[in-house]
Structure 1
């Protein structure tokens, strides 16, 4: 009996981890998805940053791609555009920070709260 319970527990854990991994996998960045569905941002931010999609683009281009930061979770702090990019899965929020120099993207960082 203990052996069956152990096997059943193992199968349940593997299934749970598989479902979690599938639901939280990275997906390709899309401008429409980023702007319209905040729940997609945590899964898109890796693609956006690792493929350097914002490097050197204009402020206007960033606003077309990500939306203009305004009230709510996205904002402008000390000239940087700061976009909410999900949570770390525990307690901290994650942010996408876009820094400009002469109206062009100079730095993009995915940072915790």
Structure 2
């Protein structure tokens, strides 16, 4: 199996979630994509691929996908622990708090 295959578990394998490269309506399936990827790797590896790895590929390391002063970070608070139950990613109603560009856009707490 080559290193570009979606089942290659090493960090930095070069496989990027499809929806992260496609803006628009495909984004509504991103949660299911994360839960499927977590079944191939680990939930943490799926999150890293969707966040830090994508930022690195786009040349945005340190600017996005990190929580740091001056960085642009969107934050999600889940109704459960997606590292223990990656199926939480599949259902958007499990996101109880969403902060985008510093603004609360969903708050079900």
Larger strand proportion, structure 1 or 2? 1
TM over 0.5: no
Rg comparison, structure with higher value: 1
**Length-normalised TM-score, structure 1:** 0.31
TM-score (norm 2): 0.31
